[in-house]
Structure 1
Amino acid sequence: MTEPSPIPAAPPRYAYNFCAGPATLPRPVAERIREEFLAHAADGASVIEISHKGPRFSGILDTVETLFRRLCALPRNHHLFFMHGGARMQCSAVPLNLIGRSAARTAGYVETGLFAQQACREGARYGTVSTVAGSAATAFDRIPPVRARDCPEDAAFIHLTSNNTVYGTRWSDFPQDLPAPLVADATSDILSRRIDHTRFGVVYAGFQKNLGPSGMALVTVRDDLVGHALAGTPRLLDYAVQAETRSLDNTPNTFALFVLSLILEWVRDQGGLAAVERNNEVKAALLYGELDRSSFYRPTARPEYRSVTNIVFRLADESLTGEFLALAESEGLLGLAGHRTVGGVRASVYNGMPEDGVRALAGFLREFERLRG
């Protein structure tokens, strides 16, 4: 008697991941990773098995550097580094490398949310920091004006967070004519829109939103800001060492950089950052349009400061939040819970979120209001 053939498992349903990070990858990139993980080249070695000093990985790094510079119009006098520890490690690396430029070891910080505050606290470990502007008094619902007269005259740098994932605000334009170089934590909007890198001394971003696997950071540093590290700065956090070794003083996460190379190729194939930015604005407009349609949902950020990548809102009847999140998850809409410090709901629609996923969420918002409104 022959054994019956096993019933094949049903293919997994594709869910839409709205988590703030690690975030969803563009579907074509995920498929290329699967296809090329073992067969990226003809030498029989997986992409995670190759030497970071060998020609194959050098080719990946060349692709990353060339495409990022071209897509972002990164000036020739700005270095491009890839460093361990994500954006949180750069909260230490920035003051370690820059604050010594000020005789009094002074820096200014703009506090627009949780991660901006964390950066400020870390900066205070290495010198004197000044909060030059902030929006805590209004529950971080806006971006405050930053004026030169509010900045320390001898500041080594002024730090801001370009997009605030917890509270759903972002900078649409950036301060000018400040007395010190501008530093931006761009973790949650890197590659989602065009920015003018000539206005910044340093831009850094954790990989896990729009760049790939978590644990690494992309860092751009203007030439004149390299070589000022405080005595005792750990070697792997010294920008001069990164510049001298092309980010290869220690073995980098080769897989993360391989994924980044695929993401940059995907951005290029979409038509570049201008096209990606337009698509992100369309996705955000779909959700904000649904949220603003009635008083059932309440976006937390003031309209003129709303983030395009992190859409944060609450239900008018907050007792329904748990049911909302559970039902959304059952419908394949994942990662919608707001940050644990503020609660509510948050939809993160980074580059990898397709418009179909946003339309599915917009439809769910309307249906849940019909059921419970």
Structure 2
Amino acid sequence: MERRQGEGARRGGPGAPGPRDTYNFSAGPATLPRPVALRVREELAAHAGDGASIIEISHKHPRFIGVLDTAVALYREVTGLPGDHHVLFVHGGARMQCAAVPLNLIGRSPTRTAGYVVTGLFAQQAQREGARYGTAAIVASSQDTGFDRIPEVGGRHCPPDAAFLHLTSNNTVYGTRWTDFPHDCPAPLVADATSDILSRRLDHGRFGIVYAGFQKNLGPAGTALVTVRDDLLGHALPETPRLLDYSVHAASKSLDNTPNTFAVFVLLLTLEWIRDQGGLAAVERTNLAKARLLYGELDRTAFYRPTAHPAHRSVTNIVFRLADESLTGEFLDRAREEGFLGLAGHRLVGGVRASVYNGMPEEGVRALAGFLREFARVRG
């Protein structure tokens, strides 16, 4: 099979780190937009002219405070975040928020009850963590169909005294996503948006809390961005650790302890990149086009079998199997040889997964589509 490279594989230019002959389709930590990666390198190398880069100064330094404030303001601008929602930066990534959400909100219910929609692995983990602090009722699940779709959820499914209804907006492992969120649930909606944050427009006004780990579309792993509506602050259980209390982070503007200053800096660069692309509407159009290209190739032949129901397919995590599963190992080995990295499916489900986040350039997707067609031609 002839080696293929995307149009941008050998594109350099001033300050470029050298030829690019691989494309990283890992589910996370994932590919940064190339211009963002270059700006990070320039900042750390240049030390901004004053002898210290952004990660070598105090988090209380006016220069970092400027970065933090600008990142928050630009996040508001890019997403249209309502003014009564706070933007918080907290440690521990999205997994930590599986505990922080119930600790902060479940006390709003007199029976300590919350609702969970279970659509995959990370939704299951959130529900199990919520059960530590009260009743974590499963209001809907797609487990009986192998998590291949998003279940129907309406107000009638939600416990009447629920403190919140938790859902996972995109299913990283099984490759499904929500396209229409519940409208008539009386409880505030909480979304784990880790794997599709900033990949599409989202009406934050529909949600009480949206949280996301940085490692897909925001920046380095280990930090989470949380947006929380003002009226949901101040309800934390007495046993809530200080650094899991959203009120503490809101009051201190995420500076109660030292935040991950590097992650916030990379987020700012990422937000500037999104703005320069034309905002989330333009980014969403690009992501839809990339997904259509791959799904079109997968649907063209019976050689490949996408696992998600067509009406519920993820745009950022494209999961499929080979009709002859004995060829999966060969497929993945050949893909690595051709420069396509991170395509192995999650260890729980196997198969193949192409994670196409914002940072994956269109030429990388075109190159992968060409590889899919050629492998099917040779081995089909």
Band of TM-score, shorter chain: over 0.9
| Structure 2 counterpart of 1:108, from 115, 119, 126 | 115
The alignment of Structure 1 onto Structure 2 pairs a total of residues equal to 364
The residue that corresponds to 1:6 in the other structure is none
Deviation of residue 42 (structure 1)? 2.4
Give 1:53-132 correspondences, 5 Å limit. 53-132=60-139
Confirm or deny that 1:267 pairs with 2:274. yes
CA distance in 1, matches of 2:46, 2:131: 47
The residue that corresponds to 1:177 in the other structure is 184
| Structure 2 counterpart of 1:253, from 255, 260, 279 | 260
Aligned-partner residue type, residue 153 of structure 1: P
The residue that corresponds to 1:219 in the other structure is 226
The residue that corresponds to 1:187 in the other structure is 194
Confirm or deny that 1:162 pairs with 2:169. yes
> Structure 1 11/259 Cα, relative in aligned 2: closer, same or farther at 3 Å?
closer
Aligned-partner residue type, residue 265 of structure 2: F
CA distance in 1, matches of 2:45, 2:63: 14
Name the stretch that deviates more: 337-346 or 141-150: 141-150
CA distance in 2, matches of 1:258, 1:40: 14
CA deviations on 1:171-197 (whole Å, 9 max, x unpaired) are: 011001102000000000000000101
The residue that corresponds to 2:30 in the other structure is 23
Aligned-partner residue type, residue 34 of structure 2: R
The residue that corresponds to 2:310 in the other structure is 303
CA distance in 2, matches of 1:330, 1:171: 34
The residue that corresponds to 1:3 in the other structure is none
CA distance in 2, matches of 1:247, 1:40: 24
SS of residue paired to 2:256: coil
Percent of aligned pairs with the same amino acid: 77
CA deviations on 1:21-43 (whole Å, 9 max, x unpaired) are: 00000011111111111325221
Q: Pairwise CA RMSD of aligned residues?
A: 1.0
**TM-score with structure 2 setting the length:** 0.95
Judge conservation of contact 1:38–1:44 (CA < 8 Å) in 2.
no
| Structure 2 counterpart of 1:319, from 303, 326, 335 | 326
Deviation of residue 14 (structure 1)? 3.0
Aligned-partner residue type, residue 78 of structure 2: L
Aligned-partner residue type, residue 262 of structure 1: L
CA distance in 2, matches of 1:220, 1:13: 36
Deviation of residue 338 (structure 1)? 0.3
Deviation of residue 148 (structure 1)? 1.1
CA distance in 2, matches of 1:225, 1:42: 43
**TM-score with structure 1 setting the length:** 0.96
Confirm or deny that 1:203 pairs with 2:213. no
Aligned-partner residue type, residue 154 of structure 1: D
SS of residue paired to 1:41: helix
Unaligned 5+ residue runs, structure 2?
Answer: 1-16
Confirm or deny that 1:369 pairs with 2:373. no
Judge conservation of contact 1:38–1:45 (CA < 8 Å) in 2.
no
Unaligned 5+ residue runs, structure 1?
Answer: 1-9
CA distance in 1, matches of 2:109, 2:149: 30
Confirm or deny that 1:235 pairs with 2:242. yes
CA distance in 2, matches of 1:246, 1:33: 24
CA distance in 2, matches of 1:149, 1:66: 37
